[in-house]
Structure 1
Amino acid sequence: MALWDRIRESATQMQSQLEARKNDLRSGAFRDASMAMCALVAAADGVADPSERQRVAQLIATNDILRNFPADDLRRRFEENLDRLAADFAFGRVSVLQEVAKARKKPVEARAVIQIGIVIGGADGDFDRDEQAVVREACFALGLPPHEFDL
């Protein structure tokens, strides 16, 4: 099976798992951690160009799991995290990973945040090394073993 097929299959499978837990994913910590994860993936290479911002924002707006929250609130939180990363990527990454870590206390939410990162990263068909690296970092921030997600 080609790498792209495995990524697509994994992302589809994770989206299905998220949908099954949709009602468990309503907390503010999950919301904040998810938007931080989306920003990390969008700026994984150190820069979030306008097309990447727009693509991820569109994925956020159309994701069924994230519809538990007002779209404008999600967009604002996503943009705030991206702004932190754009101002100083190294320092911003620490701050954004702290947002991700908000979901650490609830394992279902923590795993869902990682799954969202993988779904967002793989949505364009190329879950590249930079994206994998930031999702792996998020695993450590959440106390989850990266190998659980094939990272």
Structure 2
Amino acid sequence: MALWDRIKESASTMQTQLVAKKNDLKSGAFRDASMAMCALVAAADGTIDPAERRRVAQLIATNEVLQNFDALDLQRRFDANLDKLTADFDFGKVGVLQEIAKAKKKPAEARAVVQIGIVIGGADGDFDKTEQAVVREACFTLDLPPHEFDL
């Protein structure tokens, strides 16, 4: 199977698993950690162009699991995390990882946050090395083994 197909299949599998847990993923910690993860993946290479920002915002708005939350609130949180990362990536990443760590207390939510990162990263068909690296870093922040997610 080609790498491209494996990435798409993995993202699709993660999305299916997330939808199955949708009713359990309604906490503020999950919301905050998810938006931080989306921003971290979007800015993984240290920059984010307007087209990428719009694409990720569109994915957030249409993700079935994230529809548990107000779309404008999600957008505001995503933008705030992106602003931190674009102002100073290294310093901003510390704050964004702290947001991600909010999901640490509930293992199901922590796993779902990582799965959202994989879905966002793989949405364009190219879950590249920098995106994988920041999702792996989030795994460590959440005390989850990266190999559980093939990272």
Q: Could you tell me how far apart the structure 2 residues matched to 1:91 and 1:48 are?
A: 16
Shift in Å, 1:48: 1.1
1:79 to 2:74 alignment: no
Which residues of structure 1 form unaligned runs of 5+? none
Q: Could you tell me how far apart the structure 1 residues matched to 2:48 and 2:32 are?
A: 19
1:101 to 2:132 alignment: no
**Runs of 4 or more above 6 Å deviation:** none
**Residue 58 of structure 1 aligns with which residue?**
58
Q: How many residues align?
A: 151
**Residue 117 of structure 1 aligns with which residue?**
117
- For normalisation by structure 1, the TM-score amounts to 0.99
Q: Considering only aligned residues, what root-mean-square deviation do their CA atoms show, in Å?
A: 0.4
Q: Could you tell me how far apart the structure 2 residues matched to 1:4 and 1:108 are?
A: 28
What SS does the aligned partner of 1:26 have?
Answer: coil
1:136 to 2:136 alignment: yes
Query: What is the letter of the counterpart of residue 101 of structure 1?
Result: A
- For normalisation by structure 2, the TM-score amounts to 0.99
Q: Could you tell me how far apart the structure 1 residues matched to 2:51 and 2:143 are?
A: 32
Q: Could you tell me how far apart the structure 2 residues matched to 1:49 and 1:101 are?
A: 26
**Residue 49 of structure 1 aligns with which residue?**
49
